[in-house]
Amino acid sequence: MTPPAIMSNNSTEDKPKNAAFRVGLGDITPNNLGQLKRLNTVLFPVVYTASFYKNVLDVGEFAKIIYFNDVCVGAVCCRTEVVEKSSAQNLYIATLGVLAPYRRLGLGSKMLKHIVDHAELSTTPSIAKIYLHVQEDNEEALEFYKKHGFEVTEKCENYYPQFDVKDAFKLEKIIS
């Protein structure tokens, strides 16, 4: 089944100025979980476990696939975490990525806006903050999140011990 389409105007220089395209966010379901797994294999150097994908099916609006002209081109997956001595939760963005040919079309921003909007609306329990980790040399991702109101709060040494670039920055956005 095709996700609902939203008409947008493409503002990139390599496309006609008024070219219309369809963009839609879709739920992650058992039927399209294979698409998510394939995307993550292409987008990220990490192999995610079966429990990761099981949890993705349980977070509702905090996990989405994005479609561009009915083609699955990106996804965002989050998890909620209990905050000790509080009735609030934190939201961790585990993955957010768009295939390279579809970047700079606003698709990542659309997914992030969806996550932030739903975090702000969350009431039982409320979401206190959204956070994530980015490899310290990933300047494109750092600028993307900063542009969307996230702040670097910590440098995490040896966060990615399996990679050449081992250190990461923790970025946060306070919600409530």
Q: How far apart are CA 94 and CA 142, in angstroms?
A: 15
CB-CB contact of 65 with 73 (8 Å): no
Q: Whose CA is closest to 24, among 92, 85, 71?
A: 71
Catalytic residue among 92, 114, 118, 148: 92
How many CB atoms are located within 10 Å of the residue 64 CB?
27
Which one is catalytic: 53, 67, 102, 133? 133
Q: Is 133 a catalytic residue?
A: yes
**In angstroms, what CA-CA distances link 9 with 3, 21, 72?**
18, 7, 19
Listed residue (100, 170, 167, 116) closest to 142, CA to CA: 170
Indicate if 92 belongs to the active site.
Answer: yes
Backbone angles phi, psi at 36, to 5 degrees: -60, -45
Using CA atoms, how far apart are residues 153 and 171, in angstroms rounded to an integer?
6
Residues whose CB is less than 8 angstroms from the CB of residue 14 and which lie 6 or more positions away in sequence, other chains included: none
Q: Which residues are catalytic?
A: 92, 133
